[in-house]
A and B are shown apart, each in its own frame.
Chain A
Amino acid sequence: MRNKASVVIVGGGITGSATAFSLAKRGVKDIVLIERNELASGATGRCGAGIRQQWGTYQNCLLARESMKVFENFQEVLETDIDIELKQKGYLLLAYSEKEMDQFRSNVEVQHQLGIPSRLVSCLEAKEIVPFLNTQKMFGGAFCPTDGHANPFLTTKAYANAAERLGVEILKKTEVKGITVENRRIKGVHTDRGFIETDKVVNAAGGWAAHIGEMVGLDLPVYSERHEILVTEPVNPIMDPMVMSFSYNIYCQQTPHGSFIMGYGPENEPRGYNINATWQFLEEMVRKATWLLPPLKNLRIVRQWAGLYNISPDRQPIVCESEEVKGFFMGIGFSGHGFMIAPAVGTLLADLVTGSPLTWDVVLDLGRYDRHEIIAEPSVV
């Protein structure tokens, strides 16, 4: 283990791993990535594995589209043999009111400015895409054929392997215990395996981002919330796209492996770190999923679990350097969509850490909350 590093990245999920790779790729030496458990053992490995570009703000569409370019050319960009199980069979978003259709209409306009090939669909067209879809009460929907799925474990592993190949030291089963700050500058990181001297830390701790913030005396405006999920046995491919609705509150996709994976957003979930699975979720999930997608009745559920959303005030990520503590960078508050935009976020964090201009013109800093420039993204589950 190095006792000196140019950058210490806290968190071995997709954000930390992608950032390590992007930094190393630019020639930064002596990078250390610290993971308390195993790679992708937190939110990354617990997520629904969806990747979509159908967002409502220009900047979110941009980050998603740029990330999709990386997913589409993954083996080449990372020089890896790992197959991330990319499936581009689309995201089908369902609307349950005229108002929701209007929202999709304006979202699609924004998406078209960036060349995202989305379109509005009627109930009939939705049924052509998913023949067994129950279209009762539906007003229509939106569809983007290039959205889809990637395997979060394999994607993280590929980033981590590529980072290691470029010289990054990855410390798994290692916990950050404290961070030393002097004169508002980072001095080093204490771990349960010793001290690492550094003047730059990247907080990529997902569900525990606020906890890492406290270590440098910051009260970061993010909190964690349990979201549950379940998976079925694998069966032959019968459903092409991710089916998702914000108002009916569900997402459900069939992975390339054949299993169906699905969840919904909880109501009245207390803030905290609880990731236990509940029978209440199981029952409600079954009710919702079998109403919308009746053939699921005959499938077997093999596992359920939960993970933490790290939620920011506008449910959009915070990617910036702290104004208060020099050298403290963060990629936090992904609010449930960290995996799908991680390739772009890794690039942005590498821009910030190396003091380069941002690759894309986006506003994701903490200061936006004081300036009241919150990001009004209408399309979040």
Chain B
Amino acid sequence: MNDDKIIVCRCEDIDIQTIRNLIDQGVTSLDEMKRITCGPIIAREIAMKTGQSMEEILSTHSRPPFGGVLFQEVLEGIDNEE
């Protein structure tokens, strides 16, 4: 299996090669990277390439929701309240 095609983020459909290319282009903070792509696994790639610790890199915000939620599920939630 081609290592470059590994999907690191299912919700954004980002593969590892995309991340590595961006790091090579100088995007080496998680804040910048996650804005262009996605979050946590990317932190490890940045750490490996730059030698920073995961703690240094992971000082960023997490945004809700934490897992994908269907519009339909939110709608049902509203209907149940009413």
B-binding residues in A (CB < 8 A):
37-41, 45, 153-154, 233-234, 257-259, 277, 282-283, 286-287, 289-290, 296-305
Q: Given A38-B31, A41-B35, A290-B75 in contact, is the A233-B68 Cβ separation under 8 Å?
A: yes
**A13 smallest CB distance to B (angstroms):** 12
| Chain A residues within 8 Å of B31, by CB | 37-38, 41
Whether A296 and B74, one on each chain, are in contact in the complex, defined by CB atoms closer than 8 angstroms, is no
User: Is the CB of B78 closer than 8 A to any CB of chain A?
Assistant: yes
Contact (Cβ within 8 A) A286 B75 = yes
What A residues does B11 contact at CB under 8 A?
233, 300, 302-303
Contact of A297 among B12, B13, B71, B77 (CB under 8 A): B71
Number of B residues whose C-beta is below 8 Å from A?
Answer: 20
Q: Please give the distance in Å from A256's CB to the nearest CB on chain B.
A: 12
Please give the distance in Å from B67's CB to the nearest CB on chain A.
Answer: 8
* Pairwise interchain contact B75-A259, C-beta atoms closer than 8 A: no
The A/B interface has a contact count, at CB < 8 Å, of: 73
CB neighbours of B36 from chain A (8 A)? 153-154
Distance in Å: Cβ of A262 to nearest Cβ of chain B: 10
List residues of chain A with CB within 8 A of the CB of B69: 300-301
> In the bound complex, do residue A299 and residue B71 qualify as a contact, i.e. CB atoms below 8 Å apart?
yes
State the B residues within 8 Å of A (CB). Answer: 11-13, 29, 31-32, 35-36, 63-65, 68-72, 74-75, 77-78
Name the CB-closest residue of A to B61: A305
Q: For B70, give its contact among A153, A277, A282, A299 (CB under 8 Å).
A: A299
Whether B74 lies near A301 (C-beta < 8 A) is yes
| CB-based closest 5 A-B pairs | A300-B68, A302-B11, A286-B74, A297-B72, A297-B71
Neighbour of A283 across the interface among B12, B32, B68, B74, CB < 8 A:
B74
Distance between Cα atoms of A296 and B74 in the complex (Å): 12
Interface pairs (21), CB distance under 8 Å: A38-B31, A38-B35, A41-B31, A41-B35, A153-B36, A233-B13, A259-B12, A282-B74, A286-B71, A287-B75, A287-B78, A290-B75, A297-B71, A297-B75, A298-B70, A299-B71, A301-B69, A301-B70, A302-B68, A304-B64, A304-B65
B70–A300 contact, CB under 8 A?
yes
B68, A301: Cβ atoms closer than 8 Å = yes
